[in-house]
Structure 1
Amino acid sequence: MPNRPAAGSLRLVLLVAGLTQLAACASGGKAVKPPPSTSVNALYAQLDQASQSYENALQQTRAGDTQGAQKTLDGALDQLKEASAHCGTTPGCDPQRFFSVFDHLLRLKDGSFIGDETPGEGEDTGETSEVSVPAQAGAAGALPEAQRAVTLLRGHQLSELIAMNGPVKAALEMWLTQWRGNLMDAYVNYQYLRQEMWPQYQQEGLPEALLFGILAKESGGKVHAVSRSGAAGPLQFMYATGLRFGLSDQDGFDTRFDPAESARANAEYMDEQLKVFNDNLELTLAAYNGGEGRMRRLVGDDTSVSFYDPRIYGQVSQETRDYVPAVLAAAWLFLHPDSYNLRFPKVDGLTGSITLKRAASISELTVCLGSANDMPDGWFRTLRNLNPRLDPQQEQPVGAELQVPKLLEQAYAARCVDGPWPILAADLHNAVVPVYPDPPPQEADPVVHYTVRRGDTLASILHRHSGCSSESEVARMNNLKFNHIKVGQVLKLPSCR
């Protein structure tokens, strides 16, 4: 529509005006005691400069310089990050001013500043997205990186639905620290599954970041993952729920393990529950993890209630309390990695295929491919994910076709058809392991009990009563720290036989 750029520009003016007010509030609040120092005022000036950069980016957008505007936006965020770092070490500086503006700018960056695709009032937002997807989205090469800009969820900016509260911030820290390796693995795994999974989500009008967040938390992108409760597949469907959305056994294969089918079922589930909970994303995620029946009973008719309301948050399991912010935090990092000092690896996830020139299993192919194309962890997980119906230990015959990353087609021809590597792989794979019946269970060694007396040490006790064991063994048996014992304490000692 020819008038849409003007409408988009008007929305940008309003956004910048709001941002300017926010920065003004940050600098011009009530009197502060003591007055800000020169250093603090200089940092607050950088805050204002970052806000002014958005006005400059707006002018660039109006002039048609979209790339220049994006560069200006990124520079403003970098300026904020640098200033906020100095704020933390400058007496009298309020870091919260920077955090609030930084969070606000990230939300503006999510498609609501550059371009004119944000839905305006009165527009039909039922199927709106910021980047159109080709009709045959599953075809090779049809999913460019730019489509990660799609952040709309049923007419809402995804970033508007992610409250940057305590639980989400705590989850962000976990993904950036203890779970960082899991996040990276999930990202790499997802890149090779993207062509199968993302089109299913796009068809339901759901954002890719949400798909990644669920995948990262549920399975880490391991297609054959099975939980202790029986949930299975990359998106961890319980059997009964999977059946309700068309996931069943097909010729002995559980389609919960099929990435495309699992993503389709998950997208349909999310769409169904978003309607039930009036587009409340947090409640929908809680239903996915804790059961929709339970969430409907807790929520009742008030679908506007926050997941973090004590009436809801206090009644769900700790697993669900952790699950919802963890998914949202992973989705947020998918959208804004650079803003959290996070760099995802560059992965060419384009899928190709090979026709076996000699019989081989997935395990054998993994050995002969080695670390081809700089894959330090090898290709076992990727080959399994792309061929979910195959037993990785089962040798496939000559002429069988396997799905592989496109970049491995040449590596297969060079490494796995002739030469020493396929011979080595076959030799290892065909190794014979002796099989013996399990030995009968042995009776547990009996123990004796000894009550510590005054003057006892662990060494003296062992010398008198259990010369066949060591101090470290007895310390482990009794959970002793630094071999410390107390008078009256009852110790378990091995009985020598």
Structure 2
Amino acid sequence: MPVSVSLIARLGASALVLALAGHSGTADAQSRRERDAAEALNERMVEAEARYRQALVRIANDDPAGLDASNAALEDMEDVILACERQRGCSVSQLLTTYKRLLKADADAQAGQGPDAGDPLVVEEGGLPTADVPAAASAAALLSEDERFKRMVELNPAVQASIRRWLTDMRVSLITSHENYQYMRHLMSPAFKRSGLPEALLFGILAKESNGRVHARSRAGAAGPLQFMPATGRRFGLGPDGSGFDTRYDPRLSADAAAVYLNERFAQHGNEIEYWLAGYNGGEGRALRIFREANGRRFWDPDVYNQFPAETKDYVPMVIAAAWLYLHPEEYGLTFPRIDARPATFTLERPASIYALTICLGNGNTRDGYMRALRNLNPSYEAEDLIPAGTTLNGTVRMAGLYRQWCARGARADLAAQLVNSDPRAAIVRTGAIEVLPATGDVPPAALPPAPAAPRPPQAATPAQVRTHRVARGDTLGAIAQRYGCDLATLARANQLRAPAYALRQGQSVRLEGCTR
């Protein structure tokens, strides 16, 4: 892995130090001891820089010890900066000029890279990489995370067997999980990064729990991309929000809750990720009791391991394996598809459902189109709900462009609406009473004029009865509106239902006002 990635990671770790570096005293106010201490730190930084440059030469000569030497030098620099922040009279900004020089030297040392090979690393005056290098910054985060994750888990045969499962029978599920996660990453990963939790762990839980489908629901009642049970969700502020939407389905809020939950497990179990996951899957009470009785023994100790149910024994290594593959795909010949997931919003110019948008957006250079991404990014809408014009939806830059091109108006938008509104029952052709024809050779009886009907006594006019529909399992107001040819807004008002969820309960009677079929 390029050394520049390690360097950027160290810079990111020093960001807090930079924010605190503005209180250096003036030279006149420094004592001789303070000046000597600051100068000693400067000398240590220069010496570490020299060792780092020597390590670059060793790396260029394919010396395997070069990377270790460069990391050791970087760790010394980091220690110097931290000490400088505490030392009166020491200028952190002066020390960070070393980082600028090393970024330049490191970029020049990369094979096949030069001023014409691509965008160079850019460092602002404050010393931190700018947003012009998001890929490098992401790689740096992964490198740092990789090292932490390696120290926190054990790549034992149980995890290796789970890696095998992900790469064989469950490969499609793993790749699908990764694609789904890329669309939601900007919503979910910040909570884990703020909490100092490995992002790979978030992906591992997501892949095992839901494959990245925010509307996933288990038979036991767990729901959402990270599968919170109702009681656990309520502990962390998840559940019905008063509009009919359950916030366990919200990717951002569920990730926020999961980060808090796992930090609770950290407080109980330290760095023992296996115990965290055992608590996440089988209940923190059981995991905490076993942990305390274990007296420092690891999760994989047979006396500990065998106290957990079979589901937890499977769950823990599967999550760790998915996280490991997230960090090391190339090592296993695994290629995750590149997804253009740059977030953006777009506003509906005409009513549409997610089904209709999926049709008119097309595939857009993706394998499966945008239905799952639209549902994940807009979890409060069911796929068949008719969403009013003027509603702003979450999507990507690519989706917003395709919407303007194909869905706002035109033949494809009309076709999508037609397909979504099609009622299979309209294909049934009903005829009148069946006429019995005489057998061949028979003479039909003479046709007689029908007898006049007896006049009926006049009756008082009765008011027209409004039809109703009894809600069945899986019914939504949007689906009912499409079935009976109703205006969704009129139907909602007639039944006092609130947007956007239009929550219905099974067995409820819905008045079909304003319906044409």
TM-score category by the smaller chain? 0.5 to 0.7
| SS of equivalent to 1:404 | strand
Q: Which amino acid aligns with 1:410?
A: G
Task: Pick one of 347, 356, 359 that aligns with 1:355.
Answer: 347
Q: Is the contact between residue 145 and residue 199 of structure 2 (CA under 8 Å) also seen in structure 1? A: no
String of CA shifts for 1:235-283, please: whole Å, max 9, x gaps. Answer: 0101101111111211211110000100000000000011101221111
Q: Is the contact between residue 148 and residue 209 of structure 1 (CA under 8 Å) also seen in structure 2? A: no
Task: Pick one of 53, 64, 69 that aligns with 1:54.
Answer: 64
- Rounded to whole Å, the distance in 1 between the matches of 2:61 and 2:221 is 50
2:222 corresponds to which residue? Answer: 231
1:217 corresponds to which residue? Answer: 208
Q: Does 1:329 align with 2:339?
A: no
Write the mapping of 1:301-320 to structure 2, written as runs, cut at 5 A: 301-302=293-294, 304-320=296-312
Write the mapping of 1:14-25 to structure 2, written as runs, cut at 5 A: none
Task: Pick one of 397, 406, 410 that aligns with 1:406.
Answer: 397
Q: Does 1:256 align with 2:248?
A: yes
Larger radius of gyration: 2
| SS of equivalent to 2:367 | coil
Q: Does 1:199 align with 2:190?
A: yes
Quote the offset at 1:376 in angstroms.
2.0
Task: Pick one of 261, 281, 288 that aligns with 1:269.
Answer: 261
Change (3 A) 1:205 1:283: same
Write the mapping of 1:89-488 to structure 2, written as runs, cut at 5 A: 146-150=137-141, 157-250=148-241, 251-302=243-294, 304-372=296-364, 374-434=365-425
String of CA shifts for 1:429-452, please: whole Å, max 9, x gaps. Answer: 111243999xxxxxxxxxxxxxxx
Structure 1: which 5+ runs fail to align? 15-48, 73-130, 135-139, 438-497
| SS of equivalent to 1:300 | helix
Q: Which amino acid aligns with 2:247?
A: T
Change (3 A) 1:424 1:10: same
Q: Is the contact between residue 152 and residue 271 of structure 2 (CA under 8 Å) also seen in structure 1? A: no
- Rounded to whole Å, the distance in 2 between the matches of 1:268 and 1:132 is 29
- Rounded to whole Å, the distance in 1 between the matches of 2:345 and 2:404 is 12
Change (3 A) 1:391 1:9: farther
Q: Is the contact between residue 151 and residue 158 of structure 1 (CA under 8 Å) also seen in structure 2? A: no
Q: Is the contact between residue 294 and residue 304 of structure 2 (CA under 8 Å) also seen in structure 1? A: no
- Rounded to whole Å, the distance in 2 between the matches of 1:350 and 1:213 is 22
Change (3 A) 1:12 1:142: closer
Quote the offset at 1:350 in angstroms.
1.1
String of CA shifts for 1:107-139, please: whole Å, max 9, x gaps. Answer: xxxxxxxxxxxxxxxxxxxxxxxx9999xxxxx
Change (3 A) 1:242 1:310: same
Over aligned residue pairs, what C-alpha RMSD do you find? 3.7
Quote the offset at 1:368 in angstroms.
0.5
TM-score normalized by structure 1?
A: 0.61
Change (3 A) 1:216 1:7: farther
Percentage of identical aligned residues: 41
- Rounded to whole Å, the distance in 1 between the matches of 2:239 and 2:399 is 32
Quote the offset at 1:57 in angstroms.
4.2
Quote the offset at 1:364 in angstroms.
0.2
Write the mapping of 1:71-90 to structure 2, written as runs, cut at 5 A: none
Q: Is the contact between residue 230 and residue 238 of structure 1 (CA under 8 Å) also seen in structure 2? A: yes
Q: Which amino acid aligns with 1:396?
A: I
Change (3 A) 1:70 1:402: same
Q: Which amino acid aligns with 2:400?
A: E
Q: Is the contact between residue 186 and residue 216 of structure 1 (CA under 8 Å) also seen in structure 2? A: yes
Change (3 A) 1:58 1:284: closer
Q: Is the contact between residue 280 and residue 304 of structure 1 (CA under 8 Å) also seen in structure 2? A: no
Quote the offset at 1:7 in angstroms.
6.8
Quote the offset at 1:66 in angstroms.
3.6
Aligned length: 339
Quote the offset at 1:151 in angstroms.
5.6
- Rounded to whole Å, the distance in 2 between the matches of 1:286 and 1:10 is 44
- Rounded to whole Å, the distance in 2 between the matches of 1:176 and 1:5 is 47
| SS of equivalent to 2:323 | helix
- Rounded to whole Å, the distance in 2 between the matches of 1:311 and 1:143 is 46
| SS of equivalent to 1:343 | coil
Change (3 A) 1:344 1:12: farther
Structure 2: which 5+ runs fail to align? 1-13, 15-41, 74-100, 113-126, 429-468, 470-517
- Rounded to whole Å, the distance in 2 between the matches of 1:163 and 1:231 is 28
Q: Is the contact between residue 57 and residue 70 of structure 1 (CA under 8 Å) also seen in structure 2? A: no
